[in-house]
Amino acid sequence: MTASLTLSPAVEKALAERRPVVALESTIITHGMPYPQNLETARQVEKELRDNGAEPATIAVLDGTLHVGLTDAQLEQLAQAKGVSKLSRADMAVCISQGGTGATTVAATMIGAEKAGIEVFATGGIGGVHQGAEMSFDVSADLAELAITPVSVVCAGAKAILDLAKTLEVLETRGVPVIAVGQDAFPAFWSRNSGLRAPLRIDNPAGIAAAHVARRALGLPGGQLIANPIPVEAEISRSEIQPVIAQATADAKQHGIIGKAVTPYLLQRIFELTKGRSLDANIALVLNNARLAAKIAQEMSKRQGNAPS
């Protein structure tokens, strides 16, 4: 490993033993929830992975070092940290070079996972094409990363605050497989159905793992986007959440919120408008994605001859 990349003891051991490992992002800890709920959720997601046969590898930059896998003490440190940078491909190296601390977005987490040899990543929802992007050109770096970094990303679709139709178009143009699980519709984060059809559908972890391995065998760049709908009992229907998103978006415009600040602002405003239901749904879908990611990682290990004896 290079000096700037450190594996936690648990992740290092799991990789050495060729056991399934699943990457986790850290912006959900620093920018998604208040303390101590962020720490409780991070621990809960890591436990969910372990209970389903995979080692969690939460990724973050701490004092200039890229950590793949955090100890519990480091998780707590990050959960309480102030002024943490939100890192994507463009600013990750600068943060490391300046000895900074930063939480990884989907794009940055994929980079860290790939550097460590981890091929499966569980998150909540990816970034995408923002509303009004034809004027602002506000398109998440997550989409470009999916096209070049060979990691399968399990999510509940793209965040519902985005222009989901344009997001799917960009993913198609960049050659990213978008695979829905258990349904034909592309999910919309808090809602199971975005009203848009997913390009592909595979209903079992073995099939998803096989597609990942086949993509690598063909020498194709990039990963897969696995769109796993939120559990029925936890969802907020599209008809209910859309007016809330519209109100939050209007509030963001009124307050001049732009760039990286848009998503955290909208998620906080939607939390307020739904009286906390959006956060409950967010936690439920992340746990659901962790369970599926663990199963995919197990299947991938088997297909690559990496299953423990």
Rounded CA-CA distance 109/88 in Å is 8
Catalytic one among 48, 119, 159, 295? 159
Q: Is the peptide bond before 177 cis (omega within 30 degrees of 0)?
A: no
- H helices of 91-140, in order, are 92-97, 106-116, 133-136
Rounded CA-CA distance 67/44 in Å is 20
Listed residue (188, 185, 200) closest to 152, CA to CA: 200
Is residue 260 flagged as an active site residue? no
Structure tokens at 112: 């860290």
Sequence-distant (≥ 6) Cβ neighbours of residue 309 within 8 angstroms: none
Rounded CA-CA distance 13/56 in Å is 12
Is residue 76 flagged as an active site residue? no
Report the catalytic residues. 25, 159
